[in-house]
Amino acid sequence: MVRLIAGDKGTGKTKKLIELVNSAAASEAGNVVCIEDKQAMTFDVHYHVRLIVAGDYEIASYEAMRGFISGLYAGNYDISHIFIDNLFKIVGGKVDREAEQFLDWLEHFSGLHGVRFTVSASVDASSVTDGMQKYL
């Protein structure tokens, strides 16, 4: 399962994501991971959540993010949910076919491994591609 939280900057996406992360940490049996661009949520998320600052790992493309997620899961099969805050800022992306393909890859990965994904992106929800609409 993939869920996309889209909205312009300042619309409360990160606040909503933090609530979802903490809820998942309290209710899910598996490990919860949150990937963020900069270290900003340290004191906002539950201490059981594995908080990863993407900037520390130079994740600058969708390909790098796919490899990073695959590596996370290969190292810990107990991951049940991965949250990604501000995807476009991490990978330098925008609303386009490549972003759509990345979300489709997450959906495929989710089906294979049972990992849920929640992704936030600073973009108006009305401007996402038709293929991305299904994740809203």
Which three-class secondary structure string do you get for 71-119? HHHHHCCCEEEEEECCHHHHHCCCCCHHHHHHHHHHHHHHHHHCCEEEE
pTM: 0.96
pLDDT tens-digit readout, 38-95:
888 889 999 999 999 999 999 999 999 999 999 999 999 999 999 999 999 999 999 9
Radius of gyration of the chain (CA): 14
Q: Which helix (H) or strand (E) holds 21?
A: helix 13-27
